[in-house]
Amino acid sequence: MLEIDKLNELAESHGELRRGKGMVTGTIAISLAVLCFLGVLVFHFPQYLSTPELRKSYNVDLMRWVLLVAMVVSGGLSLVNIIFNRTRWLSSFAFLLIVLSALLGGHKVPVNDFADNTPYIGLDWFILDLLGSSLIFIFIEKLFALRKDQPVFRAEWQTDFHHFVVNHMIVGFVLLATNLMVHKLFGWAANDGIRGWVGNLPFWAGLLLIILVADLVQYWTHRAYHEVPVLWRLHAVHHSVKSMDWMAGSRQHILEL
């Protein structure tokens, strides 16, 4: 119970992690272990936990390789910490998750044919977005650092990580519900003539048009969030970040999302 309390305290705190005590490597290990476990679940239940649009572009062998590397890195970091008695309570959780992932099949879980029109939660998108964004943006921020003394696990990182997780999970439900509602309630508004005209545009013209429309909608929506008092109360959450990095943009009020 003491170890679980420590894990809860880490997740709910808001301070930065200092190097030299095993907290950084332990946090990396537990984060990768959780992603590995979720990845194994996606392999087991792709019809419910993967995004249909992403399935079409997957290289399954590459995904298996990424999962294997993540399991080895997480297991290695946690095992080293356990041996040298560095944050053993944290690394033990990570190592147990890796062992559980391996027992469930790890990167060798077979993917058989499955139904393609089932309701789904984009768990694969969450895993790949977190892993990919971390690797890309942390590298860029360290290469061109504005605040050279700011650690990767800076103050408030837990708060923004909570927003990142919740927002990604909510987006899946919101998109599913919105698509169902739009087709049922506003299907009458579809105009084949306009849709055909847009579809027949040259690629460059369609690209410019969608950028223009998206930018106009984003601009006026964002401006309304700043100028309408009721909307600002929601949007103010996004501007409450004091320690800026790539994950700070994930801090959004759930109603704004």
Structure confidence by residue, pLDDT tens digits, 58-69: 898 999 999 999
pLDDT for 131-185, tens place per residue?
999 999 999 999 999 888 899 999 999 999 999 988 887 776 777 777 778 778 8
pLDDT for the residue 254: 84
Q: What angle do CA 106, 110, 112 make, to 5 degrees?
A: 150
Q: Residue 37 CB: number of other CB atoms within 10 A? A: 17
Share of residues in the chain with pLDDT > 70 (%): 98
Looking at residues 4-32, what average pLDDT do you find?
84
Output the six-digit token pair for 222. 């964002």
Q: Is 126 within 8 Å of 112 (Cβ atoms)?
A: no
Under the banding of pLDDT at 50, 70 and 90, the label for residue 3 is low
Q: Return mean pLDDT, the chain.
A: 89
Quick one: angle between helices 2-12 and 157-186, nearest 10? Answer: 70
Residue 121 per-residue DSSP state? -
Residue boundaries of the structural domains of the chain: 2-155, 178-250
Q: Kindly report the pTM of this predicted structure.
A: 0.82
Is 1's pLDDT higher than 70? no
Phi, psi torsion values for 182, nearest 5 degrees: -65, -45
Arithmetic mean of pLDDT, 232-256: 92
Mind listing the pLDDT tens digit for each residue in 86-124?
988 899 999 999 999 999 999 999 988 888 878 788 889
Residue 40 pLDDT exceeds 70: yes
* Long-range interactions of 250-253: CB distance < 8 A, separation 24+: 250/160, 250/161, 250/163, 250/164, 250/167, 251/159, 251/160, 251/163, 252/163, 252/167
Rounded CA separation 102/32 (Å): 14
- Give residue 236's pLDDT band: very low, low, confident or very high (50, 70, 90): very high
pLDDT at 178: 76
Name all contacts of 49-56 with Cβ < 8 Å and 24+ positions apart.
49/120, 49/121, 49/123, 49/124, 50/120, 50/122, 50/123, 50/124, 51/120, 51/122, 51/124, 51/125, 52/116, 52/120, 54/122, 54/124, 54/125, 54/128
> What mean pLDDT do residues 205-215 have?
94
